[in-house]
Structure 1
């Protein structure tokens, strides 16, 4: 594929929303989710920490100079094939992890960039 060609795939944007200090099986929950995805052979995932946010309980959490390690929202995100998303969701569900997630259909494109 040259730099002007594009590869298109249909996929899923899977996002998990957790608190930064939430734990599951002795690990930070966002780390545990990333480890499960890696163990399943998924191509990658990322965790993003918010600077402020609130959830279903209405409690506002904000990053401040004096509290940089507070209980802020974290989004753990994956771009996957539908079958991969279903498998990761099954793993998280069966483990009993308490969290919110979203799943949206997406088009995945890869532009140029030979791996040579």
Structure 2
């Protein structure tokens, strides 16, 4: 693949669809904070099935549990910018999983 490549860091945050921060969906709060921090971009992906810390399986196939599907917020930027954003996540008292992965960005 031709193009310029740069090293970066991927921040992935897994939360539940029903997780809230001051009456706002947690994934929305994370995206808005990332935007305000000037990060390169953020995407939210909705899972169709999963389980987390409480070991209950949530799936979109069961209407009664469809409100608590897994949500994944993905942010990629330069390592120092992503690491500088981590205190913003700490303020949210997340119960979800936060992961950092080195990535090679092809532009």
TM-score between the two structures when normalised by the length of structure 1: 0.83
Structure 1 unaligned regions, length at least 5: 111-116
Match of 1:9 among 6, 23, 28: 6
Give the match's secondary structure for 1:96. Answer: coil
Q: 1:72 aligns with which of 47, 69, 72?
A: 69
Moved over 6 A (4+): none
Aligned residue number for residue 35 of structure 2: 38
Find the counterpart in structure 2 of residue 87 from structure 1: 84
In the comparison of the two structures, how many residue pairs are matched?
Answer: 107
CA RMSD of aligned residues (A): 1.8
Q: Which protein has the larger Cα radius of gyration, Structure 1 or Structure 2?
A: 1
Q: Structure 2: give runs of 5+ residues left out of the alignment.
A: none
Bigger mean CA deviation after superposition, 48-57 or 86-95? 86-95
Q: Is the 8 A contact 1:16 1:76 kept in 2?
A: yes
TM-score under structure 2 length normalisation: 0.89
